[in-house]
Amino acid sequence: MICTWIVAAIILIVVRVSTWKKIHEIPTGMQNAIEALVEMWDGLIGDILDKRVTRWVFPFATTFFIFILISNLTDLVPGVGSIGATDKAGRFTPFFRPPTTDANLTVAMAGIFLVMSLYWAVRFNGPWGLVKHIFGVKMETTKWTFPLFFLLFLFIGAMELLSVTFARPVALAMRLYGNVFAGESILDMIFHGKSFLFSLVLSSGMYFYETFVCLVQAFVFAMLVVAFVGTLCTHTEEDHGH
């Protein structure tokens, strides 16, 4: 919890400091970095989603990326996850832990995504339009084959609904939590190795690898959010010949 608030404070301070004075038409320094990040994500999301949906999802996915990336990188800060107290039973409790190594946080983020994705889907398609988008027959049929394909797409829609409301949020939460927690556990085992020299050499290599993993996991989480929303907020041809 403490690290979560620290990460949030870092983001707010950096954004505030970089925009404290007048924003320059030709950006430099931190303003240039922030604008480059914004333009990159705006371009990525704009290539995937409808323009109207892009305006909704862009700040959401970009905020997720920045927050998750900084949260992941706290795993590489000396003392985070390795400095703590041991109780009488011999159980070690660290004072600080990377926010994304807590399943409660990743599940909460996945829950927020679920609520917002359903809201955007209803807003884009309309309530009945969303029902047709999930369960509708998405191919040309005749009046004789329509009942068969209706039952088929009804089954497919049920699987899609299960995916939207359960499988996707669980995949988002567990993928992020599992990868970052595994990295933290490996680094912890290396630091507590018997040979100091071996631990130092191995941890140096792991730091480079974990930096890459932290970046990739943040990018994957944000892009999956965009992709999952894209599957719900798209127009499909559903004209049938009965």
Regarding pTM above 0.85, the answer is: no
pLDDT in tens, 152-186: 889 989 999 999 999 999 999 999 998 888 887 77
Residue-by-residue DSSP string for 42-63: HHHHHTTS-HHHHHHHHHHHHH
Does the residue 241 lie in any domain?
no
| Contact criterion met (CB below 8 Å) for 97 and 3 | yes
pLDDT in tens, 48-60: 898 899 999 999 9
Boundaries of domain holding 127: 2-232
C-alpha distances in Å from residue 199, one per residue of 26, 189, 206:
46, 9, 10
Handedness of CA 42, 60, 128, 161 (dihedral sign): positive
Does the residue 237 lie in any domain?
no
Does the residue 238 lie in any domain?
no
Does the residue 94 lie in any domain?
yes
Residue-by-residue DSSP string for 137-185: --S---TTTHHHHHHHHHHHHHHHHHIIIIIHHHHHHHHHHHHHHHHHH
* Count of structural domains, the chain: 1
Average pLDDT over residues 55-83: 86
- Residues 81 and 84: their CA atoms lie apart, in Å, by 8
Average pLDDT over residues 223-229: 94
Q: Phi/psi class of residue 167: alpha, beta or left (left: φ > 0; alpha: ψ in -120 to 50)?
A: alpha
pLDDT in tens, 81-96: 666 677 777 676 777 7
Tell me 17's DSSP state: H
Does the residue 161 lie in any domain?
yes
Does the residue 111 lie in any domain?
yes
And the tokens for 36? Answer: 């480059």
Does the residue 240 lie in any domain?
no
And the tokens for 22? Answer: 């007048």
| Contact criterion met (CB below 8 Å) for 59 and 41 | no
pLDDT at 242 over 70: no
Does the residue 242 lie in any domain?
no
